[in-house]
Structure 1
């Protein structure tokens, strides 16, 4: 299977951590048994799925104001992956 070039994720309507994890699961093709928490997110992006070359988040500013904790944790996971697994990590655009 070839690596996807770009996945765009629209965060403008997200109002809860549950909605966020559901959207991430759908957008990044996580398995149905995805645990919908940050440990499970880390496990998914580093070993369960092939991440796209680029992930573009739309509505980041509004999302990070509505759910600041979730925004920080999401960004930390993706940044940490870039440091630990640069060849597997996505370039991330926060638009």
Structure 2
């Protein structure tokens, strides 16, 4: 399991920078949701279990980013890895 604290993120750029660092995305990562999808489905192997902490802060400060993150990871689980688990605390 990898724990990612999103409790200090204040914008989508910061969220993408954090995801890039924590999930080992390549230097050319495009810092947008299409690039996030490409990264998790073909560029890196993400762990079977991700736990995001500080989600109340993220939803308050970056509501679109919080929604897009959850939707992308739900879609990833449904289409590619049914055993994948993402938790949002």
TM-score (norm 2): 0.95
In structure 1, what is the equivalent of residue 19 of structure 2? 24
Aligned structure 1 segments of 4 or more residues deviating by more than 6 angstroms: none
In structure 1, what is the equivalent of residue 47 of structure 2? 52
Contact 2:5–2:54 (CA under 8 A) maintained in structure 1:
yes
Contact 1:51–1:90 (CA under 8 A) maintained in structure 2:
no
Query: Is the partner of 1:55 in helix, strand or coil?
Result: strand
Query: Is the partner of 2:50 in helix, strand or coil?
Result: strand
* Structure number with higher helix proportion: 2
Residues paired across the two proteins, number: 89
Contact 1:12–1:58 (CA under 8 A) maintained in structure 2:
yes
Which of 65, 72, 85 is the equivalent residue of 1:70? 65
Q: Please, which runs of 5 or more residues in structure 1 have no aligned partner? A: 1-5
Q: Please, which runs of 5 or more residues in structure 2 have no aligned partner? A: none
